[in-house]
Chain A
Amino acid sequence: MAQEKYASPFRDDIELVPDNSILLRRIPPKFYEWTKSGLGDEKLIPIFNSGGFQDQSATKAFELYGLPGACMSVLVLHILQENGRSPESVLADFGSSHGFAQLIAGELRRMCNQGIQLNPTPEQPAHAVVFSKERPKKRNTDQVCLRELAEQLGWFIEPRSAPGTG
């Protein structure tokens, strides 16, 4: 018997978050590693790890946002800017050890089979969530896909604290 195709409880807001939208994913220090740049100097650069692109659990997503399943929080850059806020001001609330990875909406839709639902809150009108179109939550292979896309684009805002640098 053929398996029923998974139907996500989320909606993909293609018009509100068009394919050319830049999405910002905040990366805490647990999800990057300072690594030598390999350019012959001692400079350390932050390298993403794939765990930074995992979903919040369905329980937490419902508790925080009333959302119907597991998903990953991002900010939509153009909406953030339209509301008069800068990415730097958002990160300032978390400290210099956090950075912003960037993703292009169309790339994560096409290459990682994810959708994007805008989920504005009173505190953050640019908030959106990235969800899997194929299953109830992202798998590790989806996280790797997103990490690779983020690496190709590079940090939008790089964390500023490296070990021993204060």
Chain B
Amino acid sequence: MISSRFLSENDVQVAADEMPRSDANDAWVVSVYRQLYDLLELQEDWDTYGSPSPELLAVKNATGLLKDLHQTGLAFPVPLIQGTSEGGVTVRWRTADREFGFEFGAGRSGEQTVFCVDRSTGQSWEGPLAAFSDRANEALYRLVVEP
């Protein structure tokens, strides 16, 4: 397991290089990159509740998702990217009537989950990304057409 205490500038650069640098003027890319970079700068107890720094692997997995989304060319809203209390990362979007996102777990297993709470339909679901990929794709599509 990679300890985030030993993150170096090179590790930060690795994360940054995952984003399409040619789109430097893309406000979405700038915001996402800034949030990812900020995650790597978080120290232990960053939330005042004793949470560890986000693990590099979780940050890289989140970066991979965001890179894939950007490469679709679709106009996704800017997500909120945060650490979790276990060293993972969440990428989430919130609209007037729903919240949807992904969690990239810490540790060697690094479980990836997806979740959605939709007050317009009354549906709420959460589970492994592999098992919920269809629902995740639908929720992502709705982010674009119903921001």
B50 interface hit (Cβ, 8 Å): yes
Task: Give chain A's interface residue range (CB within 8 Å of chain B).
Answer: 20 to 34
Determine whether the beta carbon of A141 is less than 8 Å from that of B85. Answer: no
Residue of B48, B80, B113 with highest tally of chain A CB at under 10 A: B48
- Is A85 an interface residue when CB atoms closer than 8 A count as contact? no
Complex CA–CA separation, A30 to B117 (angstroms):
22
Interface string of B96-120 (1 = CB under 8 A from A): 0001010100000000010111000
A56 engages B84 (CB within 8 Å): no
Is the pair B115, A139 in contact by a Cβ cutoff of 8 Å? yes
Q: Which segment, of B25-33, B86-94, B135-143, faces chain A? A: B86-94
B50-A144 in contact (CB<8A): no
**Contact between B84 and A94, CB atoms less than 8 A apart:** no
Question: B117 near A57 (CB under 8 angstroms)?
Answer: no
Residues of A within 8 Å of B99, CB to CB, are: 50, 144
12 CB contacts below 8 A, A to B, read A26-B48, A28-B49, A49-B94, A56-B49, A60-B85, A73-B49, A94-B48, A140-B113, A141-B116, A141-B125, A141-B126, A145-B117
Q: A145 CA to B48 CA in the complex, in Å?
A: 22
Residues of B within 8 A of A145 (CB): 117
Chain A contacts for B46, CB-based, 8 A:
30
Chain B binding surface SS class:
strand
Q: Which residues of chain B are near A33, meaning CB under 8 Å?
A: 80
Interface residues of B (CB under 8 A from A): 46-51, 80, 82, 84-86, 90, 92, 94, 99, 101, 103, 113, 115-117, 124-126
Residues on A lying within 8 angstroms of B by beta carbon are 26, 28, 30-31, 33, 49-51, 54-57, 60, 63-64, 70, 73, 94, 98, 139-141, 144-145
Distance of A139 Cα from B88 Cα, bound (Å): 13
A50: contacting residue among B48, B49, B86, B92, CB under 8 A: B92
A60 surroundings in chain B (CB, below 8 A): 49-51, 85
Given known A51-B84, A54-B84, A145-B117, contact A140–B51 (CB-CB < 8 A): no
Cβ-closest chain B residue relative to A58: B86
Q: Which residue, of A54, A64, A70, A144, has the highest number of chain B Cβ atoms within 10 A?
A: A144
The one of A31, A63, A64, A144 in contact with B47, judged by C-beta atoms closer than 8 angstroms, is A31
With both chains docked as a complex, state the minimum distance between the C-beta of A97 and any C-beta of chain B, in angstroms.
10
